Amino acid sequence: MKNSCTRAGKALLIAGALLLSACDRQEKPEETAEDVAAAKAEGQEEIADAARAANESAAENAHDIAEADGASDRHEAVADAQEAAGDASYEVRMEKAEAAREIAKEKCESLPSDRQDACKNAADADYDKAKTAAQRAEDAADLQADKTRNTP
């Protein structure tokens, strides 16, 4: 009994090692090209969706500004539009950053396995920088909206 358990344990270890080694294997150029193309297509679709939503939001806010009664309501509508524009810009920027990260990570798969982790870490670092920039832009838009609300 002990011998069969030991063999089963060794077989599981070998199978696990093979699976792990396949995770970081260098892809064939054709496979990488297909994966990159798929990541680009998906990213473009997500970016387009976010841009469409941003345009719809801008149109709604323009309508609200035009329909506002009096200076106070118009002021509030402008502030709401500034805030919404910041939110929409953040969403578009984040979709672009996510797409760029996925494309970069797919390209990393074409590298030798010993260079893939560093490549993927660089892609994550670029994403983090883009996310920080997007957040700063959104915060600036929110600040401007607050100033607009607080300006008589």
Q: What angle do CA 134, 122, 87 make, to 5 degrees?
A: 10
What pTM, to 2 d.p., does this model score?
0.81
Is 15 domain-assigned? Answer: no
Is 79 domain-assigned? Answer: yes
Rounded to whole angstroms, the Cα distance separating 77 from 64 reads 6
Is 108 domain-assigned? Answer: yes
Is 134 domain-assigned? Answer: yes
Q: Which residues 6+ apart lie within 8 Å of 52 measured at CB? A: none
CA distances (Å), 67 to each of 83, 126, 149, in order?
18, 42, 18
For the segment 97-106, the average pLDDT, to the nearest whole number, is 97
For the segment 60-83, the average pLDDT, to the nearest whole number, is 94
User: What is the number of structural domains in the chain?
Assistant: 1
Asked whether the predicted pLDDT for residue 101 surpasses 50, the reply is yes
Rounded to whole angstroms, the Cα distance separating 42 from 32 reads 15
pLDDT band of residue 25 (cuts 50, 70, 90) is: confident
**Are the C-beta atoms of residues 87 and 54 closer than 8 Å to each other?**
no
Mean residue pLDDT of the chain comes to 88
Which DSSP category does 25 fall into? P
- % pLDDT > 70, the chain: 84
Give CA torsion, residues 46, 50, 52, 56, to 10 deg: 160
φ/ψ bin of 69: left (φ > 0), alpha (ψ from -120 to 50), beta (otherwise): beta
Write out the residue range of the structural domain in which residue 87 sits.
28-150
Is 19 domain-assigned? Answer: no
Identity at 12, one-letter amino acid code: L
